Amino acid sequence: MQSNSTSPQTKQKQQHLHGAALVDDKGKEIPITEKMIQESLKNLINTTQQ
């Protein structure tokens, strides 16, 4: 029997956008996820509507 669920590691890889990342002031890469982009766009829309 085959499971349709994805492992946490696979799921995490799917959330990253083609290896896109931010680099902090210490040189640490922070992967960018679709959720991060969606939240940023919502904040931008809210800011411009005020």
Tell which residue, 40, 4, 2, 42, has the closest CA to residue 22: 40
Three-class DSSP category at 43? helix
Give me the pLDDT at residue 43, please: 96
Per-residue pLDDT tens, the chain, 50 aa: give them: 455 555 555 555 555 567 889 999 999 999 998 899 999 999 999 998 87
The two three-digit tokens of residue 42, written as one number: 């919502």
Domain that holds residue 16: 10-48
Give me the pLDDT at residue 31, please: 92
Question: How many independent structural domains does the chain possess?
Answer: 1
Give me the pLDDT at residue 50, please: 77
Whether 40 maps to a domain, the answer reads yes
Residue 36 phi, psi (nearest 5): -60, -40
Whether 3 maps to a domain, the answer reads no
Task: Classify strands 16-23 and 29-33 as parallel, antiparallel or unpaired.
Answer: antiparallel
